[in-house]
Amino acid sequence: TEENVRRELCRFEEAAASMFGRHSACAAIGISGSIALRELDGPVAVLTLSGRFWHRRATVLRNAKAWLRRRWPELSDAQVADPDDVLDVIFDDETGEVLEDRRAPDHDGNRGTMEYQGVDPDSRGPFAQAAGGFRAGGSMFS
């Protein structure tokens, strides 16, 4: 039912702590994104994305789809109501000018650095883990 999907989307937002603005650490760095059910069209969940995400919107949608399908194998797909919902940046078709940037700010410069280095920032998320001797139990050589 639609209520079950809404409940699972809330659980998904709770579990994916680095993706959504409902978490204080995310909200503090400008992440305001949320996901909602627009309708259930037979075996297809039609979703909407709103706000600003640090992760690519396509990644958020892909993870939501996987989350929902793990709970309901009979769900054939989860898609957005508006294809523009998965665009991170909206450009003017004629000038190429940025009309809307839906990404949360790159608060520490890591996303830009990772993209420059050819690393997918979504594989790590907005909060880097300490490494080596600077984390509990770490070695200077790890």
DSSP of 75-94, one letter per residue? --EEEESSGGGG-SEEE-TT
The pLDDT of residue 57 is above 90: yes
Mean pLDDT score, 17-45: 89
Give the full edge-to-edge strand order of the sheet including 34-41.
34-41, 44-50, 77-80
Confidence band of 141 (pLDDT split at 50, 70, 90): very low
- E strands, the chain, in order: 34-41, 44-50, 77-80, 89-91, 98-101
Lowest mean pLDDT among 16-25, 31-40, 91-100: 16-25
Say which amino acid occupies 102.
Answer: R
Residue 120 confidence (pLDDT): 85
